[in-house]
Amino acid sequence: LGGDPSGARAISKLPMKLQDIQEECRLALMTVNTVSVAGDSIEQYEFTKVMIFGEVIARIVAFLRPKALVDRGIRIWYEIPDIIPSLYVDKHRIMLVFQNLLLNAIKYSYSKEKNSKAGDILIRGGLSSDKNYYTISVSNYGIKIPEERAEDIFRSGYRMPEAIALVPSGTGFGLAIVRQIVELHGGRVSITKNYDPTEITVFLPSILASQPPAWQAK
Ligand SMILES: Nc1ncnc2c1ncn2[C@@H]1O[C@H](COP(=O)(O)OP(=O)(O)O)[C@@H](O)[C@H]1O
Ligand SMILES: [Mg+2]
């Protein structure tokens, strides 16, 4: 990973007012109540064309950045990749996906004393080598996810002991919901195992640039 965040562009001028951003995030959070790991169904999904970085990630970062910096001394970096076009997604559910991933990255980052590279979270976009998926990865320096836990962390209610020790509060449902939402978009989520930084990647099908998932056709 070329993990030097100084090469990444931090958004300073946002096209929206903070109030609007907060409202967006509040709406996405309300979606949480309707998303249960067992019961959320595709009929409830609403697909519209969305700029993932401009409309989703920029807003969530703007929402979480001050708190990450003040509470944890963590800076969040991303660059808007030219490569990813607008995609048909359920905007509030996709906001929830990246909200969960970023909250985890903030929560499970070590302090600088424990890992000298800690303190930066990097969000990057790209295209898979077979060109079938757009990729968005979130990486942070903190608890490493070993090979033998790579499946467990997506299970409802599962939390790694190291995570519980670092942050006692948590439900263990975040990644299960992330996976469900991404899969209902026809995509998948993967982690780079045993890796420092911890890196979680969302794969969204390239076909979403031209049409919503096939099962959406009403
Ligand atoms: N960025 C991360 N770094 C290290 N471990 C992580 C990270 N994100 C998730 N995990 C691991 O996956 C588990 C499940 O995550 P999640 O479903 O969001 O539940 P919660 O955050 O409530 O524990 C966490 O308890 C933690 O062990
Ligand atoms: Mg979580």
135-189 pLDDT, tens digit per residue, is 999 999 999 999 999 999 999 999 999 999 999 888 898 999 899 999 999 999 9
Residue keyed to tokens 């990630």: 57
Q: Which ligand is nearest to the CA of 158?
A: 1
Token couple for 92: 């509030």
Confidence of residue 4 (pLDDT cuts 50, 70, 90): very low
Flag whether pLDDT at 16 surpasses 60: no
For the chain, how far is it from start to end, CA to CA, in angstroms? 42
Residue bearing the CA closest to ligand 1, atom 11: 153
Among 201, 183, 185, 198, smallest CA distance to 125 is for: 201
Q: How far apart are CA 133 and CA 203, in angstroms?
A: 6
For ligand 1, say whether the CB of 153 is within 6 Å of any of its atoms. Answer: yes
Confidence label for 29 from pLDDT (cuts 50, 70 and 90): low
| pLDDT of 57 higher than 60 | yes
Which pTM does this prediction carry? 0.86
**199, 139 Cβ separation under 8 angstroms:** yes
Q: How far is the CA of 91 from the centre of ligand 2 (A)?
A: 19
CA pair distance 103, 120, nearest whole angstrom:
13
What ranges in 42-139 are assigned the alpha helix state H?
58-67, 91-107
* Residue 82 CA, distance from chain mean position: 19
Rounded Cα distance, 136 and 124, in Å: 6
Give the Cα separation of 124 and 139 in Å (integer). Answer: 9
Tell which atom from ligand 1 comes closest to the C-alpha of 162: 27
The H-assigned helical ranges of the chain are 18-34, 58-67, 91-107, 161-166, 174-184
Best mutation site among 108, 181, 195, 202 for ligand 1, i.e. most ligand atoms within 8 A of its Cβ? Answer: 108
Helix axes 18-34, 58-67, angle to 10 degrees: 100
- Best probe residue, ligand 1, of 106, 175, 189, 195 (max atoms within 8 Å of C-beta): 175
Residue nearest to atom 8 of ligand 1 (CA): 104
What single letter denotes the amino acid at residue 114? Answer: K
Tokens of 131: 């060109």
Q: DSSP label at 155?
A: S
Closest to 105 (Cα-Cα) out of 23, 174, 45:
174
54 neighbors 75 (Cβ within 8 angstroms): no
138 Cβ inside 6 Å of ligand 1:
no
CA distance 209 to 7: 27
Cβ of residue 179 lying under 6 Å from some atom of ligand 1: no
**163 against 31, higher pLDDT:** 163
